[in-house]
Amino acid sequence: MIKTTTSQIKFITVVLAFAQHFAQLTKARLSFSVVFSSIAGYILGCETIDSNELSLLLFGGLAIAGASNAFNQIIERDIDGVMKRTKNRPIPLGYMTPTTAFWIAVVLSILGLAALYAINPKTSMFAAISMFLYTSVYTPLKTKTPLAVFVGAFPGGIPFMLGWVAATGSFGLEAGTLFMIQFFWQFPHFWAIGWLMFDDYQRAGINMLPSGKRDRKTALQAVLYSIWTLVISVFPVLGLTGDLQITVGAAVLVALSGLWLIISSMRLFLKLDQESARQLMIVSVIYISLIQIIYVIDKLI
């Protein structure tokens, strides 16, 4: 029988604690959802799935997303400390120093970009652009102007199209369409979050809402961008987006999903309450994953 010494128990405890703090610093669950979009884009763009490329995309995407989140938390460590939603992150609580977090982010950046470069240079380039815009432009703007959401939609729109670029090595109508889908989707999604977390954001001096208030102007913008999201999502059925095409059946399913998103945003417009904002946030999360699944299944069958 193997006995566990006190020093071994302490070591295991330290390792588990670090793993937990690492997951919080890199927002592991969010990073996986980002990479899910890239994998969907890769499957749509490839002729045959290359397991090596897919593995590099998975690893590189997780590393870049994790590094971006880590840099974000370093920059916003004071803000995170005053918000209920973020005050338990490892840096505000002192579980991890900004210096340690910085070197974790640097190592992840290097490893991620190297992995994506091994697929093709363009994939690495777009990942670097996404990381730069997220950390150096979007993050500082959050305390300056609600236009930060618009700026943040650019790096946020890259993951879906990044998979296509990884599979094909090119950026054209197809990748541009995938980018626009995720670009427009982010507005109702983040405005729903901004509505829900309005008071918390106000404490930190952040305003995510286009009108600066939880009012009908903000809700109307969510409705309009939900409509644009539906339009661009079904557009490939027309056959005008190069090799990226969907069947009529898939377009119907995507349209129904889009109507669900629009109805949810219209409910917020009519009721202007927290519950409607929460529903819109949940529906938006389901929507983006659902249409990506529909696109992939439509191609595979």
pTM of the model: 0.92
Cα-to-chain-centroid distance, residue 139: 14
Identify the structural domains of the chain with CATH numbers, from first to last. 10-171 (1.10.357.140), 176-301 (1.20.120)
Structure tokens at 227: 């409509």
Under the banding of pLDDT at 50, 70 and 90, the label for residue 15 is confident
Largest Cα–Cα separation, the chain? 68
Quick count: other Cβ atoms within 10 Å of Cβ 52? 9
The span from the CA of 84 to the CA of 299, in Å, is 43
Look at residue 2 and tell me whether its pLDDT is greater than 60.
no
Q: What is the 3-state secondary structure (H, E, C) of the chain?
A: CCCCCHHHHHHHHHHHHHHHHHHHHCCHHHHHHHHHHHHHHHHHHCCCCCHHHHHHHHHHHHHHHHHHHHHHHHHCHHHHHHCCCCCCCCCCCCCCCHHHHHHHHHHHHHHHHHHHHHHCHHHHHHHHHHHHHHHHHHHHHCCCCCCHHHHHHHHHHHHHHHHHHHHHCCCCHHHHHHHHHHHHHHHHHHHHHHHHCHHHHHHCCCCCCCCCCCCHHHHHHHHHHHHHHHHHHHHHHHCCCCCCCCCHHHHHHHHHHHHHHHHHHHHHHHHCCHHHHHHHHHHHHHHHHHHHHHHHHHHHC
pLDDT for the residue numbered 3: 58
Under the banding of pLDDT at 50, 70 and 90, the label for residue 18 is confident
Under the banding of pLDDT at 50, 70 and 90, the label for residue 298 is very high
pLDDT for the residue numbered 1: 47
pLDDT for the residue numbered 65: 96
pLDDT digits (tens, 9 = 90+) for 235-271: 999 999 999 999 999 999 999 999 999 999 999 999 9
